[in-house]
Structure 1
């Protein structure tokens, strides 16, 4: 319904690459439980980090649905590498939407070419969904800013940056204008990446902490104006973080379905495939239905972004439903596999662990429901998609009309 021929061709390209180049490395990622720099760099060199970067800055300019497809297909093979691309996209967003022309021309071509894998660093130990609770700070010193503090759970933290860091530059009483955003290179004096610690799942993905101890950066490294930090954080999370994580969830969900169907066909009970049991068939049908619904919501929201339409609620809903339905399918999958699903010689165990990583980033399910409640009550904070989506919206000639998508009578 939403895919064009270009989207289908992109899917085939990414799927072929993922199965040929990334799938053989998954076992190593699981056993080593360290950051897979090699796979990350290989994917980056395909140009897919620049899928939403406008062509004048070296990107593909292919839009948000194309981005969803890239992440989904990589996550189908490796949730870790799908997460790597989604984090890079999140890191590029702040420059696309808030960078000066000089910053765009300096940074975006290098991200699009895969030379740099950017991050966005907002979360702290005591500030998750409420960004205004952060304590990391910056003070002005002539032509420089001096940054101090610690950021947690930073995707791509060990891949070099540049790191997009949001810190406090004003008094708490200033509210939303008390935060600002900066680009911080990883070779700055006083900047440290905490050694990698393996997590529950997404082995191969870099997901760590950044420490800043009197890190001096030029004033030109500020993204947006002083006081724009909250806007940078929220817009990146809403327009990129939520749909990106929805795409990772879709890839894992698709892999769950495929592996469960394969298992149910191969495993036999009393000379009959397990799939012949009505309860098994029904559970597989439910997994398929959840996946189809989640994909429709995700593609609709991305399609609206590409059309330049207001779609904050649709992005929130897609992330919430995508994650919730994935977790429901995780439980159903484990019931079908029974004890076999607990063994590490089957990929289902990896997929289950990876699935648990998708809820918290860009806001847990509870946060998504709260935002949808605020919207329904008329208490929303405005549509970020209306404010910024024109930057990455596709030209009308490249987006098929609704009539063109309908089958001929």
Structure 2
């Protein structure tokens, strides 16, 4: 399974990720599943590989390898563990706001730290009361001499409990206009910022997507990202250009795992005097899984390649997330049907994959949201895609 977009450099990176995952991630999975605790050590170990700097330019110490390379890193880790893939995707997503919106001083301060694996960035947008309705958020930042005071809560923050610097989108105006939102870089040890206790979800055990609490949290003026009023654009551009493709890559890795594990299971089990896979219904099911996987991979890789080459591709990115998640979930269900009762127990990885995939549905917009946005783009004629607006910052080095 390959693509004409894949180069020798990509193949080498893919092999590097696979070797790391087999040596460092797979042995940790039983404990991750049993404890469901945040994997602080694993997060730092992944960061030390330099992969969080995959799209950061070499001038800041990053890999400068581009967006297809980030897909391969996230997909490769997710093939073995959704939590490991989630850790990578959340920090790489955290890069976006700084790459696209930071001033030169902020880039010099943060990008080398991220590229070297000494800083894990996050982005915090969602709130319980507003969900995907960004303009409905209630967390505020109020001016004070030399800085701002933040109050409120953010939920479902990827890498919440391991992040070092959070890009927090808050309300700085009183209305419901896009210009009423701004974004601040808030370091994890800032007084007034605390974490709600980690709550394990149905899947992705070991990954944290929890809650940040701001109680008179003071940040200086120099921590304002972009200009006052840029918060909505920072949230939207990060979600479209990084979040959706990252999550598509996690879904792709899990989809690949479901397919490969099912093939191995069918080749190992005997039914009616031959391999389970020789049964016509099972063989057709594996064919359908393979079709979905190949179709999803093509869409995801093409979208990443278009980002790398500066092409307009917002719609491709939305479609990639929608297709990868939906097809992955369908294939996980087909895998479970093939395993039968055996798939219900944790001695088979398919049970974990079946739980992990639904966790990829909500972030960066559920599938319903992707369809809504795609419908809007179909009717809107004056929309300027983020992939065009930020093209000069998106092409591979």
Q: Give the TM bin, normalised by the shorter chain.
A: over 0.9
The 1-side partners of 2:159 and 2:207 are apart by 7
CA offset digits 1:17-70 (Å, max 9, x no partner) = 111111111111101100011111111000000000111111101000000000
Contact 1:180 1:226 (8 Å CA) reproduced: yes
Q: TM-score w.r.t. structure 2 length?
A: 0.98
| Counterpart position of 2:249 | 247
| Counterpart position of 2:383 | 381
Contact 1:11 1:73 (8 Å CA) reproduced: yes
Of 53, 57, 63, which aligns to 2:56?
A: 53
Of 270, 273, 283, which aligns to 1:271?
A: 273
| Counterpart position of 2:14 | 11
| Counterpart position of 2:123 | 120
CA offset digits 1:161-203 (Å, max 9, x no partner) = 2011000001114x00000000111111111011111110000
1:4-403 aligned at under 5 Å gives the runs 4-173=7-176, 175-378=177-380, 381-395=383-397
Contact 2:170 2:231 (8 Å CA) reproduced: yes
Find the residue that maps to 2:79 and give its secondary structure. Answer: helix
Find the residue that maps to 1:188 and give its secondary structure. Answer: coil
Contact 2:267 2:275 (8 Å CA) reproduced: yes
For residue 273 of structure 1, report the CA deviation from its aligned partner. 1.3
Find the residue that maps to 1:172 and give its secondary structure. Answer: coil
CA offset digits 1:280-306 (Å, max 9, x no partner) = 111011001100000000000000000
Contact 2:258 2:350 (8 Å CA) reproduced: yes
- Identify if the C-alpha distance between structure 1 residues 380 and 274 changes in structure 2 by more than 3 Å, giving closer, same or farther: farther
Contact 1:137 1:168 (8 Å CA) reproduced: yes
Give the RMSD, CA atoms, in angstroms: 1.0
Moved more, 371-380 or 211-220: 371-380
For residue 95 of structure 1, report the CA deviation from its aligned partner. 0.5
Find the residue that maps to 1:69 and give its secondary structure. Answer: helix
Structure 2 gap segments, 5+ residues each: none
The 2-side partners of 1:303 and 1:270 are apart by 46
Contact 1:147 1:214 (8 Å CA) reproduced: yes
Contact 1:61 1:392 (8 Å CA) reproduced: no
The 2-side partners of 1:168 and 1:184 are apart by 15
How many residues are treated as equivalent by the alignment?
394
The 2-side partners of 1:157 and 1:150 are apart by 12
Find the residue that maps to 1:2 and give its secondary structure. Answer: coil
Contact 1:76 1:252 (8 Å CA) reproduced: yes
The 1-side partners of 2:215 and 2:84 are apart by 30
Q: TM-score w.r.t. structure 1 length?
A: 0.95
Contact 1:51 1:66 (8 Å CA) reproduced: yes
